[in-house]
């Protein structure tokens, strides 16, 4: 489980560095599919990861939104702000959490294990979308390889 | 580990059913990014999953290629043909495999655990790309949610 989170954090960081080459206009430009832009995608994966972990911990989960003024620097600050909660939770993950039922009163009910896998897959899915948009801009995307990242 | 494979097999099957609505031309049409078409992406994720597991088992890994005549039915037959090896391997996965070193004489060296995670992430990444192409065709993509699939 932890390996996948480290993979996602590494790939996410590489994409944030990659976005430095984009103009603010290209960073925010609405694109077809996914959540709609490089900015929104990075914001979304950071926010969704944090939100689910806050919900598992029964903590408040305030929403943040983007504006036309949102910069890569703002996205990095959000990441910086949220990483403490997320990393701490992932670090203390225990096999005994696996089958705990998450019940916030809304269907579907699922286990903590499934929710953690949802967080992992959610990010990889959206990163795949960034790679299409990168090619549309004639730019080389960040590698999605798990192998060769010194994760184990 | 097994939950993620079941997730991928379920989502893959849903995408193959989804592709029934496409004409043969649309199915094969070259698109920007990823491996280039709906057909090539489905072929690629089926082939890469099988190939890695064959390599872990030190078995031959013959290559299959696509042509302009490749149909969704051919892709389904490939899936049918490969699933026996893949499912059997995933079913007998043991925590003791996790840190085994895979060494085929080429860098990077990595553990079996990392290679299995690579197979999982590889498919989710490419499926994210299909969802962009689906929206470009004004069609609703298959959900990438892990939650609500009765996987645990």
- ipTM score here? 0.96
Using CA atoms, how far apart are residues A97 and A91, in angstroms rounded to an integer?
A: 12
| Average pLDDT of the residues in A134-145 | 98
How far apart (Å, rounded) are the C-alpha atoms in residues B7 and A151? 23
> Does B126 belong to an annotated binding site?
yes
Residue B71 Cα, gap to closest chain A Cα (Å): 24
Homologous superfamily (CATH) of B2-136 is: dinb family like domain (1.20.120.450)
Q: Cα distance from A71 to chain B (closest Cα, Å)?
A: 24
Percentage of chain B modeled with pLDDT above 70: 100
Distance, in Å, from the CA atom of B23 to the CA atom of A79, rounded to the nearest integer, reads 43
The counts of H helices and E strands in chain A are 5, 2
pLDDT digits (tens, 9 = 90+) for A49-100: 999 999 999 999 988 889 989 999 999 999 999 999 999 999 999 999 999 9
pLDDT at A11: 98
Confidence of residue B108 (pLDDT cuts 50, 70, 90): confident
Nearest CB among A111, A122, A141 relative to B144 is that of: A122
What would the pLDDT profile of B115-126 be if each residue is shown by its tens digit?
Answer: 999 999 999 999
Contacts with A128 from chain B: Cβ below 8 Å: 34, 124-129
pLDDT of residue B127: 98
Distance CA A149, CA B108 (A): 9
For the cut 80, the answer to whether the pLDDT of residue A152 exceeds it is no
pLDDT at B146: 97
pLDDT range class, residue A109, cuts 50, 70, 90: confident
Q: Is the dihedral of CA B136, B45, B63, A139 positive or negative?
A: positive
What is the pLDDT, as a whole number, of residue A9? 98
CA distance B57 to chain A (A): 18
- Which residues are bridge partners to A111 per DSSP? A101
Whole-angstrom distance, CA of residue B50 vs CA of residue B73: 18
* Segments of chain B assigned E as strands: 101-102, 110-111
Backbone dihedral angles phi then psi of residue B64, each to the nearest 5 degrees: -115, 150
Residues of B in contact with A133 (CB under 8 A): 33, 132
Give B-chain residues touching A124 at CB under 8 angstroms: 121, 124-125, 128
Chain B: residue whose CA lies nearest to A108: B148
CA dihedral of B43, B49, B55, B56, whole degrees rounded to 10: -170
Partner A, chain B 20-39, Cβ-Cβ below 8 Å:
32-34
- Judged against a pLDDT cut of 90, whether residue A108 lies above it is answered with no
CA atoms within 13 A on the CB side of A129: 28
- A104 pLDDT exceeds 90? no
Output the pLDDT for position A107.
79
Q: Quick one: CA dihedral A16, A18, A20, A23, positive or negative? A: negative
Q: Where are the domains of chain B?
A: 2-136
Q: Is A117 on the interface with B (CB under 8 A)?
A: yes
Fold of the CATH domain A2-58+66-136: 1.20.120
Minimum distance, in Å, between the CA of residue A53 and any CA atom of chain B = 14
Q: How many whole angstroms separate alpha carbon B35 and alpha carbon B126?
A: 8
The pLDDT-based confidence of B79 (bands split at 50, 70, 90) is: very high
Report residue B7's pLDDT band, with 50, 70 and 90 as the boundaries.
very high
Q: What's the whole-number average pLDDT of chain A?
A: 95
Element (H, E) at A101: strand A101-102
What confidence score (pLDDT) does residue B107 get? 79
CA A82-A85-A88 angle, to 5 degrees, is: 135
């Amino acid at each position: 489980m932890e390996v996948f989170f480290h993979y996602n954090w590494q790939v996410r960081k590489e994409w944030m560095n990659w976005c430095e080459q984009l103009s603010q206009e290209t960073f925010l430009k609405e694109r077809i599919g996914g959540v709609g832009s490089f900015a929104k995608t990075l914001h979304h994966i950071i926010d969704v990861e944090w939100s689910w972990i806050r919900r598992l911990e029964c903590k408040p989960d305030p929403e943040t939104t983007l504006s036309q003024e949102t910069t890569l620097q703002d996205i990095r600050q959000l990441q910086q702000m949220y990483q403490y909660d997320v990393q701490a939770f992932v670090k203390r993950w225990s096999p005994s959490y696996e089958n705990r039922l998450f019940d916030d009163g809304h269907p579907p009910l699922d286990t903590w294990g499934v929710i953690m896998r949802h967080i992992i897959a959610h990010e990889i899915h959206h990163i795949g979308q960034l790679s299409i948009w990168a090619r549309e801009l004639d730019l080389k995307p960040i590698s999605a390889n798990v192998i060769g990242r010194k994760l184990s």
